[in-house]
Amino acid sequence: MAGGNWTGISDFILMSFSSLPTEIQSLLFLVFLVIYLVTLMGNSLIILVTLAEPMLHSPMYFFLRNLSFLEIGFNLVAVPKMLGTLLSQDKTISFLGCATQMYFFFFFGVAECFLLATMAYDRYVAICSPLHYPVLMNQRTCTKLAVASWFPGFPVATVQTTWLFSFPFCATNKVNHFFCDSPPVLRLVCADTALFEIYAIVGTILVVMIPCLLILCSYLRIAAAILKIPSARGKRKAFSTCSSHLLVVSLFYVSSSLTYFRPKSNNSPESKKLLSLSYTVVTPMLNPIIYSLRNNEVKIALSRTFYRILGLKKHIP
């Protein structure tokens, strides 16, 4: 990062929801605090249960555990600082703090895109090649797929964050957002950013579209395989193993696409904040709920865990 920036701007001011009345900000603080705690507890519980229960030691739950790790990290990047800006009059974030926040936001976001594609591939193998599933999705293969899902976040986050924060910041230091996202920070740059913007657009399209196409191809093959199943009960059972993942994918891609692919004329800062809340705050909370409510194995494992913690004995099939 260019050393000159450190003397030009030493910190940024996150405007967050400062345009709202104090009473509304206090209410938002309470709402987001509850959501934040539910998110941390829900995803932590998914991680603990999938580790503790032998019945959940399968590739599907291995990847679900990775998703919960990502959701916790994604939440920790933006929400604590947002809660601080809602509760305190001090809305500043250091130059390095802003760059760090943006770096990990990109890292976790990119990793989640590819992990969702990996989870779709896992469902494809489970439904389309059930007899070969244990061999194709062995522990070594699952570990490699998980590493391959996490890895793209490093180069994308490193290049985009380093490049953006190497620009001179000589305008206002007020970031009109509740965290250091690329578009609002880019507006503070007083240099030609045309090349960076082209890179950012192309990079975002590739990061979103490549996993999205992989997911689409997987589910087209899955749909074809399900249609060949003769019994209605068999079809329902096969589809139920994919329904949770499909819902999570829809929530993630719809909210992120509406945020980053809307025309600028229709993308006011306030609407951008609201849409950003959907995938930074709401979606990480919903994912463990979706997998818990729509998956009998997870529900049974959660029940066993609760009874074990309470020291009670109950027969759960």
Asked, for residue 129, whether it belongs to a domain, the answer is yes
Three-state secondary-structure class, residue 151: coil
What pLDDT is attached to residue 1? 42
What is the model's pLDDT at position 7?
42
What's residue 136's pLDDT?
Answer: 92
pTM of the full structure = 0.87
> Around Cβ 223, how many Cβ atoms within 10 Å?
13
Question: For the chain, how long is the longest CA-to-CA vector?
Answer: 70
Residue 306 covered by a domain: no
Q: What is the model's pLDDT at position 10?
A: 80
Residue 309 falls inside a structural domain: no
| Residue with the two structure tokens 């509304």 | 24
* pLDDT beneath 50, residues of the chain: 1-7, 265, 315-317
CA distances from 68 to 15, 18, 47, 51, 175 (A): 29, 31, 7, 12, 29
- Give the structural domain span for 186: 11-297
pLDDT of residue 237: 80
261 falls within a domain: yes
The answer to whether residue 215 is domain-embedded is: yes
Do the domain assignments include residue 308?
Answer: no
In a domain, 154, yes or no: yes
CB atoms inside a 10 Å sphere around CB 128: 17
Number of domains in the chain: 1
- Residue 100 sits in a domain of what CATH number? 1.20.1070.10
Q: Give the per-residue pLDDT at 310.
A: 65
Whether residue 304 is contained in a domain is answered as no
